[in-house]
Chains A and B, each alone.
Chain A
Amino acid sequence: MIFSYYPGCTLRNKAKDLDAYARASAEALGFTLQELDNWQCCGGVYPLGTDEIASKLSSVRALAEAKDKGQDLVTLCSACHHVLKRVNDDMTNVEDIRTRANNYMKLAEPYAGETKVLHFLEVLRDVVGFDTLKEKVVNPLTGQKIAAYYGCLLLRPGKIMALDDPENPKLLEDFIRALGAEPVVYPYRNECCGGYISLKEPDMAKNMCNTINESAKGFGAECFITACPLCRYNLNKTEQGLPVYYFTELLAEALGVKEGAL
Chain B
Amino acid sequence: MNAKEQVQQISGVNPYKCMKCGKCSATCPAYEEMDIKPHQFVSYVQSGNIEALAACKSMWKCLSCFACVERCPRDVQPGRILDAARQIVVRQRGGNYLTAEEIPPLVDEDLPQQLLVSAYRRYKR
Contacts and interface: CB of A to CB of B under 8 A. Distances in A.
Most chain B CB atoms below 10 A, which of A55, A152, A194: A152
Interface stretch (B16-24, B38-46, B47-55, B60-68): B60-68
B100 interface: no
B118 to A, nearest CB: 4
Contacts of A236: 110
A192 B116 CA distance: 18
Interface of B: 9-12, 29-30, 33, 60-61, 63-67, 69-70, 79-80, 83-84, 87, 97-98, 102-103, 106, 110-119, 121-123
A229 interface: yes
A199 interface: yes
Given A229-B114, A233-B115, A49 B87 contact: yes
A158 B117 contact: no
B49 to A, nearest CB: 20
Interface in A38-64: 41, 43-51, 55
Nearest to A41: B117
A44 B118 contact: yes
Interface string A183-202: 00000000110111111110
B115 A166 contact: no
A216 interface: no
B90 to A, nearest CB: 11
How big is chain A's contact interface, by range? 35 or more
A152 B115 contact: no
A208 interface: yes
A257 B80 CA distance: 43
B70 A196 contact: no
Provide the main secondary structure of the chain B interface. helix
A9 B117 contact: yes
B52 to A, nearest CB: 20
Given A10-B113, A50-B11, A230-B118, A204 B66 contact: no
Nearest to B8: A50
A14 B67 contact: no
B63 A192 contact: yes
Contacts of B87: 49
Contacts of A136: none
Contacts of B118: 43-45, 79, 195-196, 230
Contact of B70 (A47, A50, A166): A166
A129 interface: no
Contact of A13 (B11, B33, B65, B113): B113
16 contacts: A44-B118, A45-B118, A48-B80, A49-B83, A50-B10, A51-B10, A152-B63, A192-B65, A194-B29, A196-B119, A196-B122, A197-B63, A199-B98, A229-B112, A233-B110, A236-B110
A74 interface: no
Nearest to B70: A156
Contacts of B122: 45, 196
Contact of A194 (B60, B63, B80): B63
A15 B115 contact: no
B69 A199 contact: no
